[in-house]
Amino acid sequence: MEESRERDVALTAARDAGKLIRDNVNQSKRVSTKTSESDLVTDIDKRAEALIRNHILQAFPDHNILGEESVEPGTEGLTHALAETQEARHSWIIDPIDGTTNFVHGFPFFCVSIALAERGELKLGVVYDPIRDEWFVAEKGKGATLNGEPIRVSQEKALSESLLASGFPAVARGRSKKDNGFFDLRREVRNIRTAGSAAMLLAYVAAGRLSGFWEIDLNVWDVAAGVLLVEEAGGRVSDTLGRPYDLSVRHILATNGLIHDHTVNALKKTGTTGFE
């Protein structure tokens, strides 16, 4: 079946990219910046994306591919690439290393993220952690798994009992009003974690390790696979104002569903939606 073949290609591509990343995590890397000093890219990012592209195009030469390292930095490049992705019959959305800054510093929290969408609707998501050898896989309507075992979101119903996660956008140095809101929100929940990989944190929401995750100014390749994981594990995904998710959403909220509306209200109250 075509769906089985797509899944196999995604898993093979993620496995080979993961091996490349794992083999080079403690090696010297050629590092350059994109939009800021905290928005990094390495030679391994580029090699891993090329490897994934090769796997996909060998199997599906007519499929569209949206990869982080193939999009020109800036709003114009992203808008054009996203329009093509939403219109394409089949479009792969890949982040060869989600958590590049962690990878550069040897902080072991990064992953390969591969998603497949049909005319803008997510149907397959794979997040592979090559350090822990953890495979998070979701298929539309078939649930989500971790290393082949079904996973479900957590069951916290109150923010005061919830562990949330977030991240800071790759912007110029200096504290903003949004940063202050982050610390205001800390008072509403059990605690907040930041770890530098949106795809991994979304996978952790799907696996019940986190109650929820939000972040502003993300790109579609950061979250596409993780979004499907959360939804297929029984959670809920929206923008930070609570509106339905689509591939154009950049200010994202994903939770176990039980705390979703409470979290939206808390984000609005503390000024951390990104829409202020």
Centre a 10 Å sphere on the Cβ of residue 189 and count the other Cβ atoms it contains.
21
Cβ-contact 202, 115 below 8 angstroms: no
Adjacent-strand bridge partners of 146: 136, 149
Give the integer Cα–Cα distance in Å for 138 and 71. 25
pTM score, whole prediction = 0.92
Catalytic (active-site) positions: 68, 95, 97-98, 100, 222
**pLDDT tens, the chain, 276 aa long:** 678 999 999 999 999 999 999 999 887 666 665 555 445 668 889 999 999 999 999 999 999 999 877 776 666 667 777 877 887 799 999 999 999 999 999 999 999 999 999 999 999 999 999 999 999 999 999 999 999 999 999 999 999 999 999 998 765 444 555 566 778 889 999 999 999 999 999 999 999 999 999 999 999 999 999 999 999 999 999 999 999 999 999 999 999 999 999 999 999 999 899 997
Burial of 48 (0-12, 13-18, 19+ CB in 10 A): buried
